Amino acid sequence: MKLLEPFIIKDLTIKNRIVMAPMCMYVASTEGDVQPFHLVHYPTRGFGGVGLVITEATAVESRGRISSHDLGIWNDSHIEGLKKLVQSVHQSGALIGIQLAHAGRKCKAENETIIAPSSLGFSQDYQTPKEMSLEDIKVVINAFKNGARRAKFAGYDIIEIHGAHGYLINQFLSPLSNQRNDQYGGNAVNRRRFLSEVIEAVRSEWNGPLILRLSAEEYAINGNHIEDTIELVKSLNHQVDAINVSSGGVVPVKFDVYPGYQMEYAKRIKALGYIVIGGGLITTDVECEKYLDNGSVDAIFLGRKLLNDPYFVLHTAAKNNRKDLVIQPYERGF
């Protein structure tokens, strides 16, 4: 079964093709610190057989949090807790990645002055952000750089840059949220500049595998569509090692969702020669295997399914006569 076979990102071998998607847990301290919950939640998926665990969106600035209880990596004081988290996941047999993130105009953390490419609110439920000055842009890029440095000290195996779901990088990329008329706005090349400089800054501190998560489709008439995302990925010139393909989130628009609804986007990006991780409401090993077999993706990200069943991988292994993949303490259960 291909799902249970290893795959490689850069020089890192991941034992199977199941990736735990980053999902905000909203239980960090108000200072962004790791809590006992995290030290149980993430290793549990490792003991359940997941090959790569990507932890929740971790803010590179306090004002870059999605909520007041998101994990943070904007201060050296965060390193100790993150290091414990890394060690706990490694002890469970999984590799661990961190998603470096900045919420931009979608920040709902208390007592923060929020920023964005342009002074446009996401919706009536959000603050109107301050338009970022060129100095603000430099500060945030440097925050991503320092986040990468701290992730390295904490011992992470992989870094993922969050460029999807309508958060800050996505806000720069999208004409729906970026109405600047300087070198960071206007045409597509200028709108990509912020992402390119973030990647360059992260790379100055990080030589390991680097993933970029993108919203391949924005589902809005004047927004970015898959053709625009393909041009973006081409422009990256393999500055990143893998693309994690998602969609939506830059504006509050409804769109149809169903198991595998993002896989056609993933397949088109994979055709550009990248390692691709894809998913979206997938809940069965049969669905996973279908998309691996037809060449849509190299690995599957699972989110809600792993909240519901931390032992999905072990169940899949046993079902497919691979009980040798079940760890010894759990053998009696399978």
CA distances from 16 to 86, 136, 332 (A): 19, 40, 22
Query: Amino acid identity of 269?
Result: I
pLDDT < 70 positions in the chain: none
Domain ranges of the chain: 2-333
For residue 207, count other CB atoms closer than 10 A to its CB: 10
263 phi, psi to nearest 5 deg: -70, -30
Question: pTM for the whole thing?
Answer: 0.97
Element (H, E) at 84: helix 79-91
CA distances from 137 to 82, 183, 193 (A): 26, 11, 11
Q: What is the pLDDT of residue 301?
A: 98
Please tell me the predicted confidence (pLDDT) of residue 40. Answer: 98
pLDDT of residue 325: 94
Per-residue pLDDT, 331: 93
pLDDT at residue 268, rounded to an integer = 98
**Which is the CATH superfamily of the domain at 2-333?**
Aldolase class I (3.20.20.70)
For position 32, what pLDDT does the model report? 98
**Burial zone of 328 (CB within 10 Å; 0-12 exposed, 13-18 middle, 19+ buried):** exposed
**What's the pLDDT at 3?**
98
